[in-house]
Amino acid sequence: MLPVKTLCPVLLLLAATLRATVPVEVAAKPAGPWKTYDTRTLADLPTAIAANADADLDDYGGLAHRTVKATGFFRVEKIAGRWWLVDPLGGLFIHKGVVSVTPQRTPGSRAAFAEKFGGEAQWATQTTDWLRAFSFNGLGAWSDTEHLAAVAAPLAYTRIWNFMSAYGHVRGGTFQQPGHTGYPKDCIFVFDPGFEKFCDEHAKQLAATKDDPHLLGHFSDNELPFKREALANYLALPDADPGHAAAEKFLHDRHGATATARDISESDQQDFLAVVVDRYFAVVGRAIRTYDPNHLFLGSRIHGAALRFPEVFRTAGKHLDVVAVNYYNAWTPAPDRLAMWEHESGRPCLITEWYAKGLDSGLGNTTGAGWLVKTQADRGRFYENFTLGLLESRVCVGWHWFKYIDNDPADTRADPSNQDSNKGLLSSRYAPYADLLAATKRINERAYALADYFDARGGAPKP
């Protein structure tokens, strides 16, 4: 046994480094019910982790002193059990981004914009510097890349191209749902004879940025309905619809010419959904790589119930470089869920939407899928808790917080999911949320050290 004089400092050190998690009250909607979740923050980890920020970063924000093969573009590599992005210089890289980095369009917000920035070019430069000050190194979907990619030292950015929803707009039959495009009976048009030609034409615009090293990769769509009941849904389409014909052939090939929807088995459902997913990613991926062979194919931002379906990830992994996931309804990332995504797809994941809204913002917070918490400090605690789980998983190569600026209730053209909620790092009048931003900085500027900490704790050698 250690003598008392030795034991006391040891106990004090343990007390300083192994602090209890923070309970945070959380709800799905303003009316509740409220539930308390244990929430891990940087303060719960050994104090040495919090002592210093990551250093020796290259121009992209990757690790200048830990490099692998450089190709001049972003790529992915699994090293010693952990997935990494690799930046164009060969530095190991974690993409810490923000979605929809673009100005608000309401009169009140535009007036605040003009007063604070003057114009788009000044906004782009100041905003890039501002994001870097909080150790963000990237831009998520729907960002104003026209201006942000034109600054002297751009952040690593992504583009979203809406292949299926753009085709649906031309074809007809689509409609607006909260957060994404709706399709007849949740059936995307992958079996239409014109879809492949449309994708090839649509992808020609990608050639304009195919040589840009700051472009990380492409999202093909947002939140497509990959439903387990796809076979029954396609069978319910009109007889003349190509999707109905494809579903009917699939069913008859399996169960005979007299088979109907009553004969559908669980394996039929899973296998037909895989056919839909495979057809979509094969067609779109081929078009993307024809006109831009240099950048990562990130997928369609998988969401909802599809996050539980191995067949979706198994099939997507045949075509994608990184599997983009919009991850809601989880206070802490589920380790088994992330492990399934990587095991089935054979690819890393990038979390492309997640957020919490604060009651203290003064907004109604009735729209959107993110959690509701009491304060901006609680939003920050959620940021810390969630990103720590992602880093610990070893399969996640980054995250994109949703989003840059709050909803403005005066925006009558907004998507139904973006009407009155506190989702931003800034208010709709460009006022920063200091407590949230302080938390983002705490994690972002230590992301590489945290990855090393979790790898060492798990016994994995460092790359």
Q: Report how far apart, in Å, the C-alpha atoms of 182 and of each of 173, 177, 188 are.
A: 9, 6, 9
Which residue from 303, 377, 297, 296 is spatially nearest to 341, judged by alpha carbons?
Answer: 303
Q: What is the predicted pLDDT for the residue at 21?
A: 84
Residue 5 lies in a domain: no
Query: What is the tens place of the pLDDT at every residue in 52-94?
Result: 899 999 999 999 999 999 999 999 999 999 999 999 999 999 9
Secondary structure letter of residue 305 according to DSSP: G
Residue 17 lies in a domain: no
Secondary structure letter of residue 105 according to DSSP: -
Name the domain count of the chain. 1
Q: What is the CATH number of the domain that holds 142?
A: 3.20.20.80
The domain in which residue 118 lies consists of 24-457
Give the gyration radius of the chain's Cα atoms. Answer: 23
Torsion of CA 370, 371, 374, 377, to 10 degrees: -70
**Cα–Cα dist 111/206, whole Å:** 34
**Cα–Cα dist 214/97, whole Å:** 13
Give residue for tokens 């509701």.
Answer: 372
What is the CA angle 20-25-27, rounded to 5? 145
Count the neighbouring beta carbons within 10 Å of the beta carbon of residue 305. 12
Confidence of residue 20 (pLDDT cuts 50, 70, 90): low
Residue 14 clears pLDDT 50, i.e. is over it: no
Query: What is the tens place of the pLDDT at every residue in 227-282?
Result: 999 999 999 999 999 999 999 999 999 999 999 999 999 999 999 999 999 999 99
Q: What is the predicted pLDDT for the residue at 13?
A: 37
Residue 4 lies in a domain: no
Residue 410 lies in a domain: yes
Give percent of the chain above pLDDT 90. 92
Between 1 and 181, whose confidence is greater? 181
What is the CA angle 382-354-350, rounded to 5? 115
**Cα–Cα dist 11/33, whole Å:** 39
Query: What is the tens place of the pLDDT at every residue in 185-216?
Result: 999 999 999 999 999 999 999 999 999 999 99
- What is the rounded average pLDDT for all residues in the chain? 94
Residues 41, 22 contacting (CB under 8 angstroms) = yes
Query: What is the tens place of the pLDDT at every residue in 288-330?
Result: 999 999 999 999 999 999 999 999 999 999 999 999 999 999 9
Residue 44 in 3-state DSSP? helix
Residue 399 lies in a domain: yes
Residue 11 clears pLDDT 50, i.e. is over it: no
Residue 168 in 3-state DSSP? helix
Residue 8 lies in a domain: no
CB contact set of 164 (below 8 Å; sequence gap of 6+): 181, 188, 189, 190, 220, 221, 224, 280, 284, 300
Residue 383 lies in a domain: yes
Tokens of 69: 């093969």
Residue 101 lies in a domain: yes
Residue 1 clears pLDDT 90, i.e. is over it: no
Residue 5 clears pLDDT 90, i.e. is over it: no
Count the neighbouring beta carbons within 10 Å of the beta carbon of residue 461. 9
